[in-house]
């Protein structure tokens, strides 16, 4: 026993000597890529910066929800990373952070190269700081995304249809997959559901989707000047209509029941494993994953397409969310973060990096698009994304009009409202009332 105690003491002394050195010149927290290539590309850019400056950087990769959690916690504790990227910042947090004065003004990084960027991308990071009362570029636009539709061409054909049978009208389009293809595909031996329309509170996807529906039905929740319109009778009518249409497939058992709990990746898993026919996703992560597993499936079995025409016959615009890289005023190495960004944003670094994602993201620098990688019609997915961005009108999500909308996203009240209707059996009006009340409260805070 005596020996054990001595050992324990020795272990404690030894252990205390092995505290890892925590000082880094640059700490980066980034969303882990779907493919190893994404992460390798970032690490390569970090390597370039390290060799150019002789400084040391540490990069950590996390799943999207986890990086948000980590950043929120570290920001509160006063020790945030120097540079970070997550899919949630532009939608849920940056407007609030910028307003509270938490974000570093990136103008000196962006202005010298502003001509490289698409104007809408720069506009999307031009945020209001409540303490100074002025707007500035409080984030770096990194990539952009818009929800796409993917479908299983092979299963569609097994079910006895061809692609030319797919209607391009909103109501008919969804009716077709739910009422024609789903039963026929099951008849042909596929245990599938029609639509992969999520309604969980853990994923961003339902948030994107419901806004596509709202837009298709002409509903405007927030006006471009930032006024909340949800309580206007005319808007209410349209919102309720859009919500009713959105939940119809779930009520009609055209959506996998587990969609109520889907994380951002679960819908991918379900679609890739042929558990539903039509997937709605804001990036090309599904084709990218499939391409890696089986290029033949990528080329011949699945397809990517834009949204059908709105019920009134007008074409559906691309709702675009520009993803942001941010640094915090309480970060330890702001200057190093900016110096790394200058390296990262060079076309020779960001270009290959985005291609390394297998075309998952749309670049925000038009020059990068001048590349057969994006413009080759032989690619059924990347080219479809390219066309969706370049051939239809691009409009932002409502958080661009009001910083308060970030809280709507952070609390995921749209997903919650959809659950009210589908799981609790509430009427759409009642769910709308709760939604409108909560949103009004959040706007008043």
Partner 1 sequence: MAHVTSSRPDVYTPSGPSLEVTWGLIFLIPYIVVFALFVIYPIGYGVYLGADPAGYRHVFNDPIYYRTAVNTVVFLLLAVNLKMVLALALSGFFAMPHWWVRVLGVLFLLPWVIPHVPSIMSIRWMLNSEWGMINNILWDMFGVIGPAWLVDVKLAFGGVIAVHIWKYLPFWTMIFVTGRMAIAPAYYEAAAIDGAGGFAMFRYITWPMLRNLFITSMLLSIIWSLGDFNSVYLLTGGGPIDRTNTFATLGIRYSFQQGNFEAGVATVITALPFLVPLVVILIKRLNARVDH
Partner 2 sequence: MGHKAIQYAQFALIAIVVMTWTLTPIYHLLVVSLTPVQDSFAGKLWPDRPTLDNYVTVLTQGDYYLTNFWRQMANSIFAAIMTCALVLFIAVLASYVIGRMRVRFGGVVSNLALLTYLIPAAFLAIPFYQVMGVYQLLDSIWAMILAVTTFTAPYAIWVLRQYGDSVPRELDEAAKIDGATPLQILYMVYIPLITPAMIAIGSFALLHAWNEYLYAFLLLNDETRMTVPIALGYYASDDDSPWPVVMAMGLIYSLPPALLYYSVRKYMASGLTSGGVKS
Tell me how far, at minimum, the Cβ of 362 lies from partner 1, in Å. 28
Whole-Å CA distances, 320 to 264, 282, 395: 18, 9, 6
Tell me how far, at minimum, the Cβ of 269 lies from partner 1, in Å. 9
Q: Which of 201, 313, 312 is nearest to 263 (CA)?
A: 201
Task: Please give the size of the binding site for partner 2, defined by CB under 8 A.
Answer: 41
| By CB under 8 A, residue 189 contacts partner 2 | no
- Pairing mode, strands 148-152 and 302-305: antiparallel
| By CB under 8 A, residue 9 contacts partner 1 | no
Coil vs helix vs strand at 82: coil
Radius of gyration of the chain (CA): 23
Whole-Å CA distances, 93 to 72, 98, 169, 410: 9, 9, 35, 7
| By CB under 8 A, residue 297 contacts partner 2 | no
Maximum distance among all Cα pairs of the chain, rounded to whole angstroms: 85
Stretch that binds partner 1, among 21-29, 66-74, 173-181, 321-329 (CB under 8 A): 66-74
Stretch that binds partner 2, among 11-19, 122-130, 302-310, 344-352 (CB under 8 A): 11-19
Is-contact 217 241, C-beta < 8 A? yes
| By CB under 8 A, residue 111 contacts partner 2 | no
Tell me how far, at minimum, the Cβ of 240 lies from partner 1, in Å. 19
Residue from 25, 26, 30, 34 that binds partner 2 (CB under 8 A)? Answer: 34
Is-contact 56 26, C-beta < 8 A? yes
Choose the contact partner of 415 out of partner 1, partner 2, none; CB within 5 to 8 A by kind. Answer: partner 1
User: Which DSSP helix (H) or strand (E) runs through 142?
Assistant: strand 140-145
The residues, any chain, with a CB within 8 Å of residue 374's CB and separated by 6 or more, are 359, 363, 368, 382, 383, 385, 386
Distance CA 9, CA 7 (A): 5
Q: Which residue has the tokens 């962006």?
A: 110
Stretch that binds partner 2, among 32-40, 89-97, 103-111, 171-179 (CB under 8 A): 32-40
Q: Which is nearer to partner 1, 85 or 361 (CB)?
A: 85
Tell me how far, at minimum, the Cβ of 294 lies from partner 1, in Å. 19
Task: Find the binding residues for partner 2 in span 204-263 (CB under 8 A).
Answer: 263
Task: Find the binding residues for partner 2 in span 271-290 (CB under 8 A).
Answer: 272-273, 275, 285, 289
Is-contact 220 229, C-beta < 8 A? yes
Q: What is the binding site for partner 2 (CB under 8 A)?
A: 1-2, 4-5, 8-9, 11-12, 15, 19-20, 22, 29, 32, 34, 36, 58, 60-63, 65-66, 69-70, 73-74, 76-79, 263-265, 268-269, 272-273, 275, 285, 289
């Amino acid at each position: 026993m005596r020996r054990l105690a001595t050992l324990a003491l020795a272990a404690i002394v030894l252990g205390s000597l092995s505290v890892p050195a925590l000082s880094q010149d640059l700490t980066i927290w980034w969303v882990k890529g779907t493919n190893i290539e994404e992460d390798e590309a970032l690490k390569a850019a970090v390597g370039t910066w390290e060799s150019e400056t002789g400084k040391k950087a540490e990069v950590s990769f996390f799943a999207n929800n986890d990086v948000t959690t980590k950043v929120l916690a570290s920001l509160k504790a006063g020790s945030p990373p120097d540079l970070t990227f997550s899919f949630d910042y532009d939608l849920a947090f940056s407007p609030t952070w910028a307003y509270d004065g938490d974000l570093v003004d990136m103008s000196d990084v962006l202005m010298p190269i502003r001509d490289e960027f698409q104007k809408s991308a720069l506009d999307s990071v031009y945020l209001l700081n409540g303490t100074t009362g002025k707007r500035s570029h409080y984030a770096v636009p990194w990539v952009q995304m818009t929800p796409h539709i993917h479908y299983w061409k092979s299963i569609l054909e097994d079910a006895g249809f061809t692609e030319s049978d797919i209607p391009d009208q909103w109501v008919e389009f969804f009716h077709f997959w739910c009422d024609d293809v789903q039963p026929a595909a099951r008849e042909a031996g596929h245990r599938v559901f029609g639509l992969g329309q999520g309604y969980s509170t853990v994923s961003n996807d339902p948030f994107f989707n419901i806004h596509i529906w709202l837009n298709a039905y002409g509903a405007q929740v927030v006006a471009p000047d930032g006024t909340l319109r949800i309580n206007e009778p005319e808007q209410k009518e349209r919102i309720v209509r859009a919500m009713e249409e959105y939940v119809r497939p779930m009520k009609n058992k055209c959506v996998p029941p587990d969609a109520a709990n889907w994380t951002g990746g679960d819908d991918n898993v379900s679609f890739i494993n042929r558990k539903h026919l039509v997937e709605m996703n804001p990036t090309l992560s599904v084709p990218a994953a499939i391409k890696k597993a089986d290029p033949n499936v990528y080329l011949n079995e699945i397809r990517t397409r834009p949204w059908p025409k709105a019920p009134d016959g007008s074409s559906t615009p691309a709702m675009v969310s520009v993803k942001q890289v941010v640094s915090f005023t309480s970060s330890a190495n702001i200057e190093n973060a900016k110096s790394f960004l200058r390296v990262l944003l060079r076309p020779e670094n960001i270009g290959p990096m985005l291609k390394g994602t297998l075309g998952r993201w749309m670049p925000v620098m038009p020059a990068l698009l001048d590349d057969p990688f994006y413009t080759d019609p032989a690619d059924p997915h990347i080219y479809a994304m390219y066309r969706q961005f370049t051939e239809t009108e691009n409009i932002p999500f409502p958080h661009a009009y009001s910083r308060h909308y970030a809280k709507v996203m952070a609390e995921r009240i749209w997903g919650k409202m959809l659950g009210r209707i589908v799981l609790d059996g509430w009427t759409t009006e009642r769910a709308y009332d709760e939604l409108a009340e909560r949103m009004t409260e959040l706007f008043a805070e």
